[in-house]
Structures are given as structure tokens and as C-alpha cells.
């Protein structure tokens, strides 16, 4: 299962394209495989080591 971190409000229409049996999607998740961003100030954000 892929872990997806969302950093702000992502449209449900977009999130529905990711099957829930294959993707765990949350605004707080440890060691994400992907990050979904709509508009977020990334300059001050620490990218986790992966």
C-alpha cells in the first residue's frame, strides 16, 4: 500500500482517483511515498528522508 501525505485541502474529486485499497491518504502520515500539494509554502517545509 502506498502512503500519500496531503499538505492542504485536496479536492475529493482528485482523491477519488486513488483506489483506497492501494493508497492510504492522510494529512498526517509517517514516511509517505508521495506528497499531494495544492498551494503550500514548501520553502519552509522539511522534506523527510526516504
Residue 50, in any domain of the structure = no
Is residue 22 in a domain?
Answer: yes
Does residue 36 lie within any of the structural domains?
yes
How many structural domains is the chain composed of? 1
Residue 35 and residue 42 in contact, taking contact as beta carbons nearer than 8 Å: no
Measured CA to CA in angstroms, residue 42 lies from 8, 35, 39 at distances of: 12, 11, 9
Which residue range(s) make up the domain with 40? 2-44
Tell me the pTM.
0.78
The 10s digit of each residue's pLDDT in 1-50 is 999 999 888 999 999 999 999 999 999 999 899 988 887 777 777 776 76
Residue-wise pLDDT for 27-41, tens only, equals 999 989 998 888 777
Left (φ > 0), alpha (ψ -120 to 50) or beta: where does 31 sit? left
Question: Is residue 49 included in any domain, yes or no?
Answer: no
Smallest Cα–Cα separation from 4: which of 38, 28, 42? 28
Report if residue 15 sits inside a domain. Answer: yes
Distance CA 40, CA 21 (A): 27
Amino acid at each position: 500500500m502506498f502512503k500519500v501525505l496531503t499538505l492542504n485541502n485536496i479536492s475529493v474529486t482528485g482523491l477519488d482517483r486513488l483506489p483506497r485499497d492501494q493508497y492510504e491518504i492522510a494529512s498526517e502520515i509517517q514516511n509517505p511515498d508521495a506528497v499531494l500539494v495544492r498551494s503550500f509554502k514548501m520553502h519552509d517545509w522539511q522534506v523527510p528522508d526516504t
